[in-house]
Structure 1
Amino acid sequence: MKKSLSLVVTGALVTSVFASSAFAAELSPQQKFDALKQAGILSGYPDGTAGLTKNITRAEFSKVLVLLNGLTQDAAAANYKDVSATHWAKGFIGAGTKAGYLNGLGNNLFGPSQSLTVEQVAKTLVIAAGLQPKADGAVSGAVSAWAKGYVAAAIDAGLIDSAASYKVAATRGQVVEAIYDLSDAAVSVKSAVAVDATNIEVTFSDNQVVKQTLTTALEVGKETTVAVSYNGKSYDVKVTLQAVKATEAAQSGAKAITVKFNRALTATEKTYMDGGYTLKSNLSTFPVTAKYADDNKSVVLSAVYLPVGDYTLTVKGSDTPFSVKVAASAATKIDVTAPALQLADNVDLGVKVLNQFGEDVTATNSTYVQAYNTTQPSKTITVSAGKVNLKTSGANPNDKIAVTAVAPSTGLSVSKTLNVVTGSTATVLDLGEVQPLAGKSRISAGETGLIIPLTLKDANGQAITLTAGDINFKDGVAANVYSNYKDKDGLFFYNSDNRVVEKITVDSKGVLKFTAKAAGSTTLTISNPSAGISKSIIINVAGAAVVKDFQIGAPSSLVVAGEEVVFPFVASDSFGGEIKGTALDLSQLEFNANYLEANYPKVNAKGELVLKFTQEGYTYIVARGKTSVSAPSTLSVQIQKASYTTGVNGVKDVITTLEDGAKVDFGKDNITLVDNYGRTSTAAADTYTVEVKSDVEGLLNYTGGQLVAAADKSGSATVTVKSKTANAESYAFTVDVVESSAVKSYEIKSVGTAYADKDARAAYAKTVTLTGKTSAGVTVALASSAPAFVSSSDITVAGVSGNKVVGKKAGKATITAYVGNSAVATQEVTVSEDAPVAKTVEFGKSEYEFTGSTTVSVKVKDQYGVEVAPVGYFSSSNTDIATVNQEGAVTGKKKGTATITFVTNTGVTATTTVVVN
């Protein structure tokens, strides 16, 4: 109980007419009754009503009093002549009497059905509150002489309200008002804090926390009153948003430091903090990348390289910097993370070596792993790269495999016994409902990637996943042979309608996916006969959504004959859903326009509607969905005459000062053209010519896409670029050829982070390249950009071979480039031991247009900028338009646009658009 009532009633049991408390004022008597009823203190009449206007009896109040004080019923203590053995309140009356709270009326009578008066209530409240009756208290209203002092004290203390008479009977509603704030049903505000500028948390006296989002942002340092609702009641709380400050900073990873704040940062504050973390050790600054926690109350600062030592971290907005001690990463644990082993081949044991921060350092700590079938000792299991072939070894379901893993260089070891599981070993089988794809409200025919939520567990509670592969209910494609029954890993699959779901694919993670082939309904049942368990779901597939309404808008650019032009559009499908970007199926449109080039319209890689017209003129575009009954969308378009080049606009990204004997690339990517509409563009191959003239014979030549300076000559040459378009203006610029003595200083082009490659692969060696500078700071292309040789301040970190830097171990070193015997430039180089992983991926083209089939290509580079073999998988957004295999071969199924996605094994994603004609 919130507060205990010691109510000793002499001669007559009393009850109440409490004055409302400040917090309780907003609740009606009925609301308070409901709260007390929920707390188990009050109960209504059998018909469910509260009876608040009725007088309360002594028996009723005895129950309230006992429950309010948390007493246990005691019928034996109710020795009153007028309280029968079967009276409903006998246990309450006995408990109240035994505790000294209740007295009888005399003559061993209790009077359970008698009512109570307001003045009796006043006396009880004053005694319970430890107050003294007022001997000379003035009371207006009818009151008994014995009760006058108690009534006056109760009124002064705010326990009861003034009334015309205090001799009248108290009602049940008045009792509710009396006991509400003395019970656990009444709560008050314990604390209120501002989590951030728009969110507060209020903790109540019952320890419940209410979170509330504000419509108006709080101001830092300003106390604000906010209304908070809880259990049907409103509370005014005061909150002050504290200025955000960093409170703690400590190492949390081999290359990471975590900073904690006094509260969550807002989006604006995170933007303000961008670049606001400075990490230093001695005189060196270590750049960090900030990643905030989901609750925005902390941030992890990651560095490319973080050597052991003492650091100073300055956080923007904080008064003093933090001292952070960085320890070396050390392997502290080796574990076998696989909970169980699937009865298959190439099963990963999940052997991991972790450092003191729980980070995976397996790549830098070699491991030795053994596996032994304790159930069938004669079955030899070979471990290769942390994986085992259980199926080939002859293992059976429920075999026990003892696995021992050792990291020899660390002295760490672990042994675990794992159970061999398959579908047939499942004792728990849960099958969830198939949900629509993200952003969809239904499952529609043609949608792919739909997931069947299947959960399998063995008798030990270990999760079981099915092996990768297909559950194909269509056995013969040509013969259209179907089967309703299939088995997989000891499980039995029943599919009632194979037209709706033709095939289920289990991916490498054991997730069951399918494509909705046609509209309809099918019952899917998955069972494990060996365990006698089975679950079924119904999969309902709606008809494929088709374009119903289509509106085309005016383009924001010129419509020029022979050029692609983007037209905005708004479209909705037959279910009322908006159709965006590449989701637009052009085959579902009726589209007409004069001078429209073949194979147009189309949707490009950005999901834009693209048109191209063959000639100058005027046309109406008329478009609508084939299933639409509304008027078509029309747009009048003026097609301008085809563009032509009016001149060369300039050159870009070319060095125009060359050391004698130097060469610089100069080609189409360096040349900018302008057309008759004033638009600039990069030149295409074979659309221009380059001429070189100089007063110094043979000073500069243009050959093989390069400007080549003669050796041992100096002077100036004029380079003129001409468009092959007749009457187009040319562009001329000056190239200076200088002697070697004009080069006064050198710079090393950025080397970037090097990899400590233990295999010494040539691809990971960093080439050191020089550029020159004149005394005026003009960049000079050198005859030889390679230095004579390169040295390193620490060859154990960064070794050198000729003009190449070779990473040896994690750390930093300063490299020095030499020309002749003179040191001319230095640069600090960082070497990392992080194993190469896919960092970027891009397709060969942003869009592939074809008829029949084509092959798409991807280029994957790791964090060191080295191209690596693409490891991942391809997928198509719409297999009805185009399919793709894992070699990148795309097969067109029908005219339309689809998105091809490649996801690397590290989760890096790239997309391209394929347009099937």
Structure 2
Amino acid sequence: MKKSLSLLVAIAMVFSMFATVAAAATDTQSKYNELKKAGVFRGTGDGSAALENEMTRAEFAGIIARLTGVTSSGTAKFNDVPGSHWASKDIAAVAEAGYMEGTGNNKFAPSKNVTLQELIKVAVTIVGLEIDEDATVEGKAGAWAQPYIAAAIAAGLIQPLGDYTANATRGDLVDVTYEVYQVLQNIAKVKGYEVVSATKVVVSFSDGGKVEVELDKPLKLGKNTITVTYKDREYKVEVEFEAVAASAKAVGAKKIEVTFNQAIDDSKAKFAVKNGIAERVVDKAAFSDDKKKAVLELTTKLQAGETTVTISGIDKDDVVAKFTAEDERITQVKFKSDKLALSTNANGTPNYTEAKVGYQILNQYGEEASNVGTPTFQVGKPTTNVTSANGVLTIQVPATSPFYLGEKVIITGYLRLSTYGVTISETLEVGQPATVDSVEVKGLYHPDNKELNTGSTFSDYVLLLEVKDQYGNKLDASKFNNGAFVTVSNPGIFNVNTTATDNNGPNKDQVGIQLAAPAFTPGFDGKNTIRIMTLSGKQYSYDVEVKKAATVQKITLSAPSQVVAANDVTVKIPFVAEDQFGNQIKKYSDLVGKIVLSPTPTAQNPAGLQLKQDYVTKEAYIELTLPTPDPNQQIAIPYPIMAYVSGTPNTSQIVINIEKPAYPESISGLTSDVAASLAQGATTTIKPDYIKVKDNYGRDKKLADLLSANTHKVVVSVADNNPDVVSLSKTELANANDSITVTALQKGNERIKVQLVNKADNSVVYSYESFVFSVVDNSGIAEYAIDQVPKLSNKLNRQVDLKVVGKRSNGTTVALPLDAYTATASNGVVVRGGKIDASGFNGTFTDGEGKATLKVTIVATGETLERELVISNAALAVTSFELENANGLEAKDLVVKGSVANLTQNNDVVRNVFGTLKVKDQFGFKMSAAEGADLSNFNVTVANIDNVAGAAITYTNNGQSGDTVTVSGIDQGDSFSLIFVSKVSGASITLRVVAE
């Protein structure tokens, strides 16, 4: 059996006092003096070192406690060490640490002298030498001591002695303690810890090292002791764990800073923000290095109101932080420089009749604000013409009163806002014309964040720049082109378009340099340096790494997981394409033209395989168009398909069994939308969507599709042909919008028959007879209840359903007829036809809310149920959105897809896409245009444009009122995002628009 202690080499000098030749660097007295200065040793009563004296176990315990720094909050537990003993706490500390043990029978023998073998054991234990507990030694020693002595000898740390039981002198103790002291100075100590999560702790050490500890069991609230191994040494660390808490505040118009009370696992954190009544979309979250802070960037600006940040994924419960946000306020108009820069003439000479300076409109966070108007400026110089646009103030003067270098010009201005104004007054000095002074490279940009490799389309990549003049003003591409030039170190990797352009980057607002194809094809992989030199001699460089392109090496086809029926028309064929490294290739652009599929469709025979693109994900899929089905097919027909990689022998061939045509075969039941338990007089509805149909292969089919195709109908009847328990309003569902009302007549059970009928020959395809309506009378209802009533609005057309139900003794809910109860409400709230209407509320509103009492009296029992109603007089505001197909466009999962013709109909792309939005207020009702759901009540931003063919997509009035934003130049395969932001509530939705 072995006891792990560690640190073998570090203690090489510990036992040098036992060697035949002394190896101490200093004499014992000097060691004593140093240890005394360190507080380890203390002098005797007369102050001398008394090195020749022997030492008691109690004195030894004190030295060990001071040497190692161990302490105890209690007193020794040994029978012979009373709490009043001067060394009781030291003895307790070294015993708890495992450095010293008792002598047996729960005794410590504090007055007994320390022996050499005791000294050896304690020293070995402290510094951590590995021992073999079965080891023995020659020489006189206790059995318990021999493993420790053997370990010291085996390590070459001591010479064998004849007697280890002899008492040690204070001098012996000084020599050993000094060497242990030296070792301990080199052993790292726990400096601190950081709780990353309930299962992850990072422990830091005095030598700068850190250990990340993954725990098998989560930390408990309060104090925990964990074990960490560092440099082969085990440490017990007491960790305080507290529940994760967070605070939040606005640090920008669209930024929130969240501060945590401890480091969190940023890979698991998910943020949701609710500002007032609107949900805010978190665009990105940036964490600090210590993982204790996160700055959230929203897609829309915060508005005044309580704001809640909910963080999920970092604790068993969501962490919530709240703060009160305020509207963006313009606080300052500021010039970007203290200089008025002269313009230049066509030949590059200074134009002394025109000068410019950039200005900023800043909000309370020091950020530049947009769409807030243009300041009005006045210049303290006669006969001036002043214009301001796009953040630049231009001053023109006549040639008879030109500017001169160093001239002081007083400029005042004001920006008039809705309820206040902001002024500026500064004196600027006329300076030399603006030139390119600094260039900051912001990085390489690709709209899809594609990796750059030798197979890339280099023109899709743009190096983004921020260019400034000597006055700190941003310059556009034309100024950059006139003041700098660009080269590359290796045109064999790629070239650049030496003319920079504007409108680059994700928001189309940055200067960019477009990459170009290499000087020859194929180009090299490797590092290429883009060098930028200004005319003033400043140089900037940016290294771009081009990786060797992955090439398609292998393709493997698989059979579809479901049955392929002859009349399925098209089927997706699963496949895996791999590069030379074994990595999967999924992007359409990486596969098109590189794999060959067979059979290939033709105009005469459209059956076969095609590689197609998912325009949303940009991934490829293989679609098989099936041959024209034979209605008389009775057996599976094998259909071979093949794919191979161009220029390689790598092929994949499989045979798909095309089964006989599918047809609707059975009805498997009704959904829970059809109430099975009814009170007398109650009704429920059967609609096509509530009937579950399967085909002959067990696949789900939509009944509505069969009805729309006019191939089938559904006939519903009472199974016994005696409709005495329930009655049906009609017996057929012939089209997708049909419905049947079921009315409960009298107590009893009624089984119904639901038949799927082929309209071609009026034959019954399947008859389902397992659904039973259970009708109960009043005696069958054990209790009554009112379903939860949401908060009501006092605006028109905002009635909510009143749902009163019965409960049977087994808990089954029973649908009730409207005449089973009477309902009234106070303060002008009206209940009529199962609806609650609060538009006539005449009670008192307090903080925007009023109350009324709803009373429901059950007719059969006379029982009265009451519920408090809450009515809000808040203005209707956009809070959420749903998507619905409209204008020929398919809309779901935040993606709107349609043909170019449908997207661009009436030359109004934005309005066509907006038509797919069902705009809902805070009460869950769809809003009308008059109530705020008109496009003019939204700001619209076009972003993340991906042109794949044809003309470039262009737009106007980006970020402004939706009815003024235009988008044009759309071709098939193009995609872009439209961000709709309510001007009133700030609620937003981002839609990806795809032209198919």
TM-score, normalised to structure 1, is 0.56
Between the aligned partners of 2:518 and 2:587, the Cα distance in structure 1 is: 24
Out of 650, 671, 674, which is 2:694 matched to? 674
For structure 1, which segment, 395-404 or 589-598, has the greater mean C-alpha deviation from structure 2 after superposition?
A: 395-404
Give, in angstroms, the shift of residue 580 of structure 1: 2.3
**Partner residue in 1 for 2:142:** none
Kindly indicate whether the alpha-carbon contact (under 8 Å) linking 1:809 and 1:833 is maintained by their aligned counterparts in 2: no
* Structure 1 residue 644 displacement after superposition: 0.9
Are residue 136 (structure 1) and residue 52 (structure 2) matched? Answer: yes
Q: Following TM superposition, by how much is the alpha carbon of 1:590 offset from its aligned partner in structure 2, in angstroms?
A: 0.6
Range with bigger deviation, 236-245 or 689-698 = 689-698
Question: What's the counterpart of residue 549 of structure 1?
Answer: 554
Deviation at 1:431, TM superposition (A): 3.5
- The equivalent position to 1:844 in structure 2, one of 890, 893, 909, is 890
The residue aligned with 1:456 is 467
Matches for 1:598-747 after TM superposition, within 5 Å: 600-604=610-614, 607=619, 608-614=621-627, 615=629, 617-627=637-647, 629-652=648-671, 653=673, 668-683=688-703, 684=705, 685=708, 686-689=710-713, 700=729, 705-707=737-739, 722-724=756-758, 727-729=764-766
Please state if 1:430 is matched with 2:440: yes
Task: Give the secondary structure class of the aligned counterpart of 2:660.
Answer: coil
Alignment of 1:511 with 2:510, yes or no, is yes
2:566 equivalent to 1:561: yes
Residues 1:445 and 2:456 aligned together: yes
Unaligned runs of 5+ residues in structure 2 are 14-21, 37-42, 55-114, 117-157, 159-167, 308-313, 342-354, 398-402, 630-635, 808-812, 830-835, 858-863, 905-911, 928-932, 956-965, 982-986
Q: Which amino acid aligns with 1:770?
A: D
In the alignment, is the contact (CA less than 8 A) between 1:720 and 1:730 conserved in 2? yes
Q: Partner of 2:870 in structure 1?
A: 828
User: What is the aligned-residue identity percentage?
Assistant: 15
Q: Write the letter of the residue equivalent to 2:31.
A: L
SS class of match (1:136)? coil
Seen in structure 2, the aligned counterparts of structure 1 residues 525 and 226 have a Cα distance that, compared at 3 Å, is closer
**C-alpha deviations, 1:563-612, integer Å up to 9, x for none?**
24343322134786531265664443211149973573535567554434
Alignment-derived partner of residue 768 in structure 1: 799
Map 1:821-900; keep pairs closer than 5 Å. 827-828=869-870, 836=878, 844-845=890-891, 855=903, 858=913, 859-860=916-917, 864=921, 866=927, 869=935, 871-873=940-942, 875=944, 877=946, 879-880=948-949
Q: CA deviation at 1:632?
A: 0.4
Q: Is the 8 A contact 2:976 2:994 kept in 1?
A: yes
Distance 1:804 1:671 in 2: 42
Letter in 2 for 1:450: Y
Quote the offset at 1:623 in angstroms: 0.8
| Aligned pairs for 1:296-311 within 5 A | none
Q: Do 2:554 and 2:650's aligned partners in 1 also have CA atoms closer than 8 Å?
A: no
1:709-766 alpha-carbon deviations (Å, 9 max, x no partner): 799x999998966444554225688999999xx9999979976797x9xxxxxxx966
Which stretch has the larger CA shift, 550-559 or 811-820? 811-820
SS in 1 for 2:33: helix
Q: What is the CA-CA distance between 1:554 and the residue it aligns to?
A: 3.0
Listed one character per residue, the Cα deviations across residues 500-529 of structure 1 (whole Å, up to 9, x for unaligned) are: 659744354633457656445898665554
Answer yes or no: is the 8 Å Cα contact 1:816–1:823 preserved in 2: no
Query: In structure 1, how many angstroms separate the alpha carbons of the residues matched to 2:877 and 2:898?
Result: 39
3-state SS in 2 of match to 1:767: coil
Distance 1:549 1:534, change over 3 A: same
Partners of 1:655 and 1:745 in 2: how far apart? 17
Opposite residue 873 of structure 1, the aligned amino acid is V
Alignment of 1:292-331 (within 5 A): none
* Correspondence for 1:125: 31
Q: Take 2:246 and 2:775, find their aligned partners in 1: how far apart are those partners?
A: 59
CA RMSD of aligned residues (A): 7.2
Amino acid at match of 2:210: V
- In 1: Cα distance, 2:552 partner to 2:381 partner: 61
- Residue 578 of structure 2 corresponds to which residue in structure 1? 572
Shift of 1:674: 1.8
Aligned equivalents of 1:838, 1:591: Cα separation in 2: 45
Deviations along 1:746-787, one digit per CA (max 9) or x if unpaired, are 979976797x9xxxxxxx96621335546566446979xxx9
C-alpha contact 2:459 2:517 (8 A) present in aligned 1: no
* SS class of match (1:427): strand
Aligned-partner residue type, residue 655 of structure 2: S
- Give the 5 Å matches for 1:514-553: 518-520=517-519, 526=532, 528-529=534-535, 533-535=538-540, 547-553=552-558
The equivalent residue for 2:201 is 200
> How much has 1:259 moved relative to structure 2?
10
Q: Secondary structure at the match of 2:31?
A: helix
Amino acid at match of 1:626: S
1:372 aligns with 2:382: no
Tell me, yes or no, if the aligned pair for 2:380 and 2:409 is still in contact at 8 Å.
yes
Change (3 A) 1:201 1:910: same
Contact 1:673 1:682 in 2 (8 A): yes
Q: Is the 8 A contact 2:50 2:170 kept in 1?
A: yes
- Deviates further, 612-621 or 330-339: 330-339
SS at match of 2:227: strand
8 A contact 1:876–1:882 mirrored in 2: no
Look up the match of 1:227: 229
What is the deviation of 1:618?
0.5
Cα distance in 2 for partners of 1:774, 1:179 equals 82
Q: Is the 8 A contact 2:899 2:995 kept in 1?
A: no
Give the counterpart of 1:589 among 595, 598, 606.
595
In structure 2, how many angstroms separate the alpha carbons of the residues matched to 1:638 and 1:374?
Answer: 84
CA contact (8 A) 1:500 1:541 kept: no
Query: Is contact 1:790-1:803 (8 Å) kept?
Result: no
Distance 1:714 1:682 in 2: 33
Is the contact made by 2:751 and 2:773 (CA closer than 8 Å) also made in structure 1? yes
Q: For residues 898 and 295 of structure 2, what CA distance do their matches in structure 1 show?
A: 47
Superposed displacement of residue 837, structure 1? 7.4
- Against the structure 1 CA distance between its residues 518 and 599, is the aligned structure 2 distance closer, same or farther, given a 3 Å change threshold? farther
Distance 1:676 1:624, change over 3 A: same
1:158 match:
175
Does the 8 A contact of 1:660 with 1:737 survive in 2?
Answer: yes
* Displacement after TM superposition at 1:828 (Å): 3.3
Number of equivalent positions: 703
- Measured in 2, the distance between the counterparts of 1:884 and 1:707 equals 46
Does the 8 Å contact 2:558/2:573 carry over to 1? Answer: yes
Q: Are residues 1:336 and 2:332 paired?
A: yes
Amino acid at match of 2:695: D
Cα distance between partner residues in 1 of 2:828 and 2:306? 18
* Residue identity matched to 2:641: I
How big is the shift at 1:119? 7.0
Secondary structure of the structure 1 residue equivalent to 2:564? coil
SS of 1:335's equivalent in the other structure is strand
> Counterpart of 2:765 in 1: which secondary structure?
coil
Alignment of 1:462-501 (within 5 A): 462=472, 464-466=473-475, 491-492=483-484, 494=486, 501=497
3-state SS, counterpart of residue 175 of structure 2: coil
Q: Secondary structure at the match of 2:596?
A: strand
C-alpha separation between the residues in 1 aligned to 2:838 and 2:994? 44
Unaligned 5+ segments in structure 1 are 1-21, 31-115, 142-150, 163-176, 276-285, 309-314, 472-485, 757-763, 794-798
Q: Secondary structure of 2:212's match?
A: strand
